[in-house]
Every structure is written in structure tokens, then in C-alpha cells.
């Protein structure tokens, strides 16, 4: 005999899908606004760590929503952890190093720098369809942002365009090294917090997740 679905069992997946789709819509609206104002290309738009990370995290949320109630691949769990850590860094850097809207409207900035990171962190804490990430893989939080930094620095040197003021070539190598070192430390600290939080049970564990 088939059992009836538990009322509200799909609700977390639906909320996830809405959150992921919503941030993709916000990114699309922000890009359309900037293009209408004659500012920047899609490469420049995605050159901002906030925009690129929000895009990737939004896609991840939609993918996880589709998989709600089914085993989550290990690589997707790792990607979710990395995205969560990176968005923690987005919120921290926005609050301390790069305040302001960065050329976009205030509401878009508030969504991308404050609201969406909070949503992703809450998703990680509350929806525990994930195993505890092993500490030996904490290093995986670094390759994506480090690659982004390398591309941003190269573009600054060759094209004269940087997404954030602390990457300006005229500030000198010592300033760049200091900021990069600080960001690496913050990334590892954010990753450690996310890895630790991943050991909580959360509100739901609908299926046994794939081991990482």
C-alpha cells in the first residue's frame, strides 16, 4: 500500500528553489540596469566576486531543490559548503572593506550582500541533507576565490579594470599581498565555521546523504 506524502515534506525544497531562482532574477535585473545605463559588459558584471558567487550559489540551490528527498552527490555537498563559506566572506568584506552599492542600486546591494548570504547560511544550518564535511578537505574553499583573484589581478594589470579598489595596481604589491593574505585567512575561517556548522543535525535529514 502506498503511503501518503507527509504534509509539507516538499516545502523546504520549494523554498530552496524560490531562493535560488529569486537571486538569479535579481542578478538579471541588476545586469539589465547596468547595461541600460551603458556600464560594463557581462564579463565585467561577473568579474565582481559577489555577482559570480551569487550566480553559482543560486544555481546550486535550484539543483539541490530538484534533489530534495533524494541522495545528494558528494561533489554537490562540497560545492554547497564552499558557496556558503564564500558568501559569508562576501557579507564580511561588504561590512568591513567594501561598503556601498558598487555601482548598483541599494536594494540589489542589500539582497546580494546581506539577505542572500543569510539565506544560504540558514539553508546550511537548517536543512541538513548533507554529511559532515571532513576537515582534510577544508582546503577546497580556496581554489575558486584564489582563481578569481588571479583573474582580477591580471585584468587590472593588462586592462586597467578591477572590481574592487583594494586590487588597484597603483596601490602597490605590498598592499595587494596584505589584502590577499587577509582574504585567504578570512576564507579559511569562514570555511572552518561552515564545516563545524555542518556537524549539526538540522531540522530535516530526509535521506542518507552520499559520503564525502
pLDDT digits (tens, 9 = 90+) for 23-44: 999 999 999 988 887 777 899 9
Beta bridge partners of 204: 127
pLDDT above 90 for 206: no
Nine-digit cell at 93? Answer: 568584506
Answering whether pTM is above 0.85, one says yes
Using CA atoms, how far apart are residues 210 and 124, in angstroms rounded to an integer? 16
The pLDDT-based confidence of 189 (bands split at 50, 70, 90) is very high
Q: What is the pLDDT, as a whole number, of residue 172?
A: 84
Contact 165, 156 (CB under 8 A): no
Question: At 208, is the pLDDT very low, low, confident or very high (cuts 50, 70, 90)?
Answer: very low
Entry field: residues in the chain: 212
CA dihedral in degrees (44, 46, 49, 51; nearest 10)? 120
- Would you say 49 and 163 are in contact if contact means Cβ atoms under 8 Å apart? yes
Distance CA 151, CA 157 (A): 10
What b-and-e string marks burial along 76-89, b requiring 16 or more CB atoms within 10 Å of the CB?
bbbbbbbbbbbbbb
Q: What is the pLDDT of residue 198?
A: 86
Give strand pairing partners of 143: none
Element (H, E) at 160: none
Q: How far apart are CA 156 and CA 204, in angstroms?
A: 45
Whole-number pLDDT of residue 167: 83
Give CA angle at 52 (25, 209), nearest 5°. 85
Exposure of 186 in the CB half-sphere (CA atoms within 13 A)? 19
Residues 110-156 pLDDT 10s: 999 999 999 999 999 988 788 889 999 999 999 999 999 999 999 98
Grid cell, residue 63, equals 539543483
| Element spanning 137, H or E | none
Amino acid at each position: 500500500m502506498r503511503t501518503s506524502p507527509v504534509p509539507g515534506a516538499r516545502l523546504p525544497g520549494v523554498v530552496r528553489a524560490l531562493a535560488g531562482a529569486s537571486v538569479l532574477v535579481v542578478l538579471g535585473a541588476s545586469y539589465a540596469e547596468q547595461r541600460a545605463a551603458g556600464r560594463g559588459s557581462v564579463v565585467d558584471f561577473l568579474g565582481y566576486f559577489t555577482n559570480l558567487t551569487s550566480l553559482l550559489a543560486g544555481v546550486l540551490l535550484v539543483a539541490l531543490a530538484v534533489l530534495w528527498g533524494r541522495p545528494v552527490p558528494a561533489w554537490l555537498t562540497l560545492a554547497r559548503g564552499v558557496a556558503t563559506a564564500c558568501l559569508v566572506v562576501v557579507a564580511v568584506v561588504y561590512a568591513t572593506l567594501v561598503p556601498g552599492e558598487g555601482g548598483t542600486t541599494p536594494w540589489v546591494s542589500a539582497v546580494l550582500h546581506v539577505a542572500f548570504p543569510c539565506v544560504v547560511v540558514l539553508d546550511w544550518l537548517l536543512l541538513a541533507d548533507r554529511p559532515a564535511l571532513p576537515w582534510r578537505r577544508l582546503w577546497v574553499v580556496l581554489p575558486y576565490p584564489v582563481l578569481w583573484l588571479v583573474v582580477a589581478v591580471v585584468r587590472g594589470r593588462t586592462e586597467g579594470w578591477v572590481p574592487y579598489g583594494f586590487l588597484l595596481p597603483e596601490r602597490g604589491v605590498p598592499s595587494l599581498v596584505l589584502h590577499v593574505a587577509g582574504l585567504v585567512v578570512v576564507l579559511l575561517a569562514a570555511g572552518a565555521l561552515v564545516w563545524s556548522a555542518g556537524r549539526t543535525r538540522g531540522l530535516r535529514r530526509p535521506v542518507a546523504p552520499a559520503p564525502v
